[in-house]
Structure 1
């Protein structure tokens, strides 16, 4: 399980050692962060849109959080996962966003005096291997407000990008992948349960989780028969 203490130490990068050649340097991470902040289209507080593990394990020191809807993007397990919750021998899939549809998640507002501190940790968590493009997206909050929030969208030009995200392909990879941070299936099931608790519907997540459970149950049955 990823923790704030792990992010603040050098150990987090070591869990992704197989991707070391893809790592952004500290200077590149900081440059990406500062350039993203400069691109905010309006003067406002800094908000973060969470659609995956940020929902059930945010690790952010935030001032406010509420549900929000992002139009024009939908969840998609379109990143090959070789570390963390996967390995080179048994790759998994990491969650990203693809164009089209909509996504409901949690939106976090940061205190102005903690923006740099919290975003440095967030950039280490999400941007270490450069698999996302950090974008400002307009999000509709549950209370009716509309804000611009930093959103991590899959970078389709990254070598870990996967175009084939059919349920059978992705479920097979998730069911068998694990790494230093736990299993890929645990990630998916945690997200599924978090969305249920928040009364957020995402048929893709539910279908994929059910498919992974079937694969795992079939595997257990084969072992018992053997």
Structure 2
């Protein structure tokens, strides 16, 4: 079964940001750090995609991956009739009173996003739930929000990502772990913007002799003879 997004029928519908509970289980679709670090409990997760949008690192961030003085850059979605954005959807139980308030704080109050309802295409449909997964909550930044940075040359964005850090870690970690998620979960997917930025960050880091493993909180393999093998594919 396929769930079609039709922009002409306004399938992207803004939700009440103060809504913290639902009568039925609800899906949340993530396309950024939620893919690899959801931070909340969920019943099921499924890799999938939304149509009509492309992922861009155009949203500034001062609370997780940057500071007020040096904002980092994180992902948002822009309308693109030919676009497809892959990510992961999470099913939140109706009785869960913690997940949505957590997401409202993380994405809306701190991150500058708004909440919408959208249709998504699961790669495989969950077989143990009566909820079809047709509708999902989606957090999208819009140009009017105070953190918006907008488009810039890719080398400039890559340098900014490499240089920025915040309370949750380096901005480079956000980018690299998202790219790694895409390679592991959807190896056939094309995301030129994401992978071009990753390639540039790796090139600039090598030129500047910056250890990316250190930026994402991992020890280089040669740091200690007793170091345990790395469990992550990111290098």
Provide TM-score, normalisation by structure 1. Answer: 0.74
How many pairs were matched up? 185
Q: Tell me how large the CA RMSD over aligned residues is.
A: 2.2
For the Cα contact (< 8 Å) 2:21–2:100, is it kept in 1?
no
Q: 80-89 or 134-143, which moves further after superposition?
A: 80-89
Equivalence map 1:82-161=2 (5 Å): 82-100=62-80, 101-114=83-96, 116-129=97-110, 131-143=112-124, 147-161=134-148
For the Cα contact (< 8 Å) 1:77–1:165, is it kept in 2?
no
**1:63 lines up with 2:12 in the alignment:** no
Q: Which residue of 1 aligns with 2:149?
A: 162
Shift of 1:183: 0.7
Describe the superposition over 1:36-75 as per-residue Cα deviations: whole angstroms up to 9, x where unpaired: 878xxxx863100011111101122111111111011121
Q: Which residue of 2 aligns with 1:24?
A: none
Shift of 1:91: 2.6
For the Cα contact (< 8 Å) 2:58–2:76, is it kept in 1?
yes
For the Cα contact (< 8 Å) 1:81–1:93, is it kept in 2?
yes
Q: Which residue of 2 aligns with 1:210?
A: 199
Q: Which residue of 2 aligns with 1:185?
A: 172
Describe the superposition over 1:109-135 as per-residue Cα deviations: whole angstroms up to 9, x where unpaired: 111211x32101111111123611110
Q: Distance in 2 between matches of 1:59 and 1:180?
A: 15
For the Cα contact (< 8 Å) 2:24–2:93, is it kept in 1?
no
Unaligned runs of 5+ in 1: 1-30, 222-226
Bigger helix fraction: 1
For the Cα contact (< 8 Å) 1:76–1:165, is it kept in 2?
no
For the Cα contact (< 8 Å) 1:33–1:119, is it kept in 2?
no
For the Cα contact (< 8 Å) 2:32–2:74, is it kept in 1?
no
Q: Distance in 1 between matches of 2:147 and 2:106?
A: 16
Unaligned runs of 5+ in 2: 1-15, 126-131, 211-235
Compared with structure 1, are the counterparts of its residues 165 and 147 closer, same or farther at alpha carbon in structure 2 (3 Å cutoff)? farther
For the Cα contact (< 8 Å) 1:47–1:107, is it kept in 2?
yes
Q: Distance in 1 between matches of 2:108 and 2:68?
A: 20
Q: Distance in 1 between matches of 2:153 and 2:141?
A: 17
Describe the superposition over 1:179-223 as per-residue Cα deviations: whole angstroms up to 9, x where unpaired: 2221100111111111111125223211111101111111128xx
Compared with structure 1, are the counterparts of its residues 56 and 119 closer, same or farther at alpha carbon in structure 2 (3 Å cutoff)? same
Q: 59-68 or 160-169, which moves further after superposition?
A: 160-169
